[in-house]
Structure 1
Amino acid sequence: MGQPLNVGVVGCGAISAQYFRTIDRLPQLRLAAVADLDLDRAREAVAPYPGVAVMTVADLVAEPDVDVVLNLTVPAAHAEVALLAIAAGKDVYGEKPLAATSEEAAGVLRAAEAAGVRVGCAPDTVLGTGTQTARKAIDDGLVGRPLAATATMVTPGHERWHPNPDFYYVPGGGPLLDMGPYYITSLVTLLGPVASVIGAAARPRAKRTIGSGPRRGEEIPVTVDTHVTGVLVHASGALSTLVMSFDAAATRAPHIEVHGERGSLVVPNPNHFDGVVQLSGVGEEGWRDLPESAGYRDAGRGVGLADLAATPAGEEPRASGTLAFHVLDVMESLLASAHSGAAVPITSTCERPSPVALLSL
């Protein structure tokens, strides 16, 4: 299998623990170094992993022992950290979104191409058995030609449980930019790239009240749309209807459904790696569960890094920067359409990522 890919992590917030666990258990990855603006937080985060170096961001991206920089900073810093790593000749894998804006994301991809390094980006949840089993069912023709899909994510708002939810309600946040990458990446994986969008959006409340932690009861301003809906027109001709909301109490709608000429699929939560895929064919009553048939078993956040490590030189990983850029472009265009009232063509595109065979990590 060769030498493991040495990973240097920038940003040791809450999500980092999930990545550390995945890196620690996979022989193709090695946690080499971490960096954070708060070095004490970095030391605390890697305390369970002896021998991991703690250093500044500048030192980490220059460290010869680091092959790839895992960028777990806040979205506003994604492009800055990625460009530092690329300038040092490192591959980059980042949390979603690829950058705060598609303009910044395009700059990251241009820099990576010029430097001859690779860019990967979350979400990698679509590489798990849930989305991949659904993708295989589509590829095997179990629903016939795909015609349409629905994707639904509703919640009353993250301020109810998050002690510092401010970033969810400023540009770069909101339900679409926060949760949309999971759903749209899954839709592109299932149905291919998007050619145009039309959307509508609302911001029913100007303020939100923090519900937990030391700031409980504090009001914060809302400066982004908190209910976004729209239609994605895929290049294949399939239509996906999307609802992303921080303004609804609950829903009984499946996270994702795909409808074809011969049947319909219920697709598991794209924020999870696994889950049961269900099929109902034309003329059938009810739904039947499909067995796991594709995807990485027992996957966790960071499996996209392992996939990158296994990707031959010159090929894009499945959780690629190109895919992440297309998804970000789709989301920004949907918001632009919501504000203009007109359909917006998507100028970017990507290859539908190659499928994942049923594999145990």
Structure 2
Amino acid sequence: MVQNQARHRIGILGAGNIFGRYVEGLRTFPELEVVRVADVDTARAKQAADEYGIPAWGDGDQLLDDDSVEIVVNITPPQFHAKTVISALEAGKHVYVEKPLAPTVEEAREVLDAVGRSAALLGSAPDTFLGSSVQTARHAIDTGLIGEAVGATAFVRSSRSETWHPDPRAFYGPGGGPVLDMGPYYLAALINCLGPVAQVSAATRIGAPARKVTSPGRVVDEVTVEVATHASATLTFASGVIGTTLMSFDVWDTELPRIEIYGTEGTLALPNPNFFDGDVRLKRHGDAEWRVLTPVTELFGAVDTPEQHRRGLGVRDLAGAIGGGPHRATPQFAFHVLDVLASFETSQREKRFVTPESSCERPEPRPVH
């Protein structure tokens, strides 16, 4: 494969909570080498470098000045995404950025403008749609196993971040909330399977206005909520499929499925799209039982193990595109995901249906093994 023909040297910008997940994931690919870590807190960058055996560390400027770094993996908080991505592109680096592409559509549009001025490539999370579960669902739809797709449901429940994250303020501030925090994984899965969204109608609200933080090693005891924590929306896809979504940090317990896709001949049930792998189940009309589909691509990690917390498949996708292969986790795809999710709040505020400004192509499927 093209992406295995060259070695790519990576610098990670941000040494926060998900840093280790990226290092562990990237190290599963021999062609990807992490050579530097940078953080605004250089002591934290040094600690991360020492812990994971990374040879160089420092601040963001030092990372951009390092000619040995080809790809910058940007895992800074969302409010810094636009500025840091643009700076890295202007420094001639290829960039992969965590979701969302930017905290607002306006800032994301500035990022797309910077991509247009740069010879470098930009990749963006969410990339879990590249994993075996969503790729298997996509293959089932494309080969007609459920007939014509008619409808879909997606249900985001609380990750209970206040019980495990030492500083969950970002989850409840601008750029956070269930719609922009977890919503991108679910929507990316749906768009990969069903195509772009043409219309949004949504209602949103704040549940509890303050959240008690109980996580070990917490740096705050309470978080003030600044964004909607409960959202319900109807999505009309350009293909005519109608989707129903519930995205909530107020729902801790539920028996609702993660994602289901309904067709004229059957139903698909998808696992948690925050992970790359898991059972995709099919029940065709007339079947007595659900059956688990054989994954059509290799697994990124063992199912139901901590390996599913790893990250990095989108970085590998970017590296393959640098070498001339297909680019799937593109900024245009990420922009459409953000544009649709931002339409939730517009629909709530203006009490109307919203037509997203953007569209995108369905990403090219990964090769079936």
- Does the TM-score normalized on the shorter chain lie above 0.5? yes
Residue type matched to 2:259 in 1? Answer: I
Give the Å deviation of 1:214: 5.4
Counterpart AA for 2:332: T
Amino acid corresponding to residue 258 of structure 1 in structure 2: I
- Counterpart of 1:131 in 2: which secondary structure? helix
1:4-15 mapped onto 2 (5 Å cutoff): 4-15=7-18
Structure 2 equivalent of residue 188 of structure 1: 191
Which of 176, 180, 184 pairs up with 1:177?
180
Whichever residue aligns with residue 100 of structure 2, its letter is P
The residue that corresponds to 1:327 in the other structure is: 337
1:350 and 2:346 correspond: no
State the secondary structure of the residue aligned to 2:365. coil
Whether the 8 Å contact between 2:36 and 2:49 is mirrored in structure 1 is: no
Q: Post-superposition shift, 1:297?
A: 4.1
Report how far residue 272 of structure 1 moved: 0.7
Indicate whether 1:53 and 2:56 are aligned. Answer: yes
Matching of residues 1-361 of structure 1 within 5 Å: 1-50=4-53, 52-155=55-158, 157-213=160-216, 218-294=221-297, 296-298=299-301, 300-311=310-321, 317-358=327-368
Distance 1:43-1:330 versus aligned 2 partners, 3 A rule: same
Contact 1:156 1:248 in 2 (8 A): no
Asked whether the equivalents of residues 122 and 318 of structure 2 are also in contact (C-alpha less than 8 Å), the reply is: no
Letter in 1 for 2:204: A
Q: Deviations over 1:38-73 (max 9, x none)?
A: 112112212244352112211211211111110010
How far is 1:177 from its partner? Answer: 0.8
Separation in 1 of the partners of 2:62 and 2:153?
45
TM-score (norm 1): 0.94
Partner of 1:344, secondary structure, is: coil
Q: How big is the shift at 1:206? A: 1.8
Query: What is the CA–CA distance in structure 2 between the aligned matches of 1:224 and 1:48, rounded to whole Å?
Result: 35
Between 138-147 and 31-40, report the one with greater CA deviation: 31-40
Deviation at 1:161, TM superposition (A): 3.0
CA contact (8 A) 1:204 1:226 kept: yes
8 Å contact from structure 1 (residues 46, 52) kept in 2? yes
How far residue 155 of structure 1 moved from its aligned partner, in angstroms, is: 2.2
Of the structure 1 ranges 134-143 and 207-216, higher mean CA displacement relative to structure 2 is found in 207-216
CA distance in 1 between partners of 2:219 and 2:65 (Å): 41
Greater alpha carbon shift after TM alignment, 346-355 vs 53-62: 53-62
The CA deviation string for residues 78-117 of structure 1, in whole angstroms up to 9 with x for no partner, is 1111011011111110110011111111111111111122
Q: Which structure 1 segments of 5+ residues have no match?
A: none
Q: Distance in 1 between matches of 2:256 and 2:143?
A: 25
State how many pairs are aligned.
Answer: 359
User: CA separation of 1:25/1:48 partners in 2, compared to 1, >3 Å: closer, same or farther?
Assistant: farther
Distance 1:195 1:222 in 2: 30
Q: 1:30 to 1:87 in 2, by over 3 A?
A: same
Question: Aligned partners of 1:36, 1:352: CA distance in 2, in Å?
Answer: 34
Cα shift readout 1:13-57 (whole Å, capped 9, x = no counterpart):
120101111222311111121100111211221224435211221
Amino acid at match of 2:39: D
> What SS class does the counterpart of residue 129 from structure 2 fall into?
helix
Offset, 1:191: 0.4
Partner Cα separation in structure 2 for residue 345 and residue 6 of structure 1:
40
Residues 293, 344 of structure 1: alpha-carbon distance in 2 compared, 3 angstrom cutoff: same
Secondary structure of the corresponding residue to residue 126 of structure 2: coil
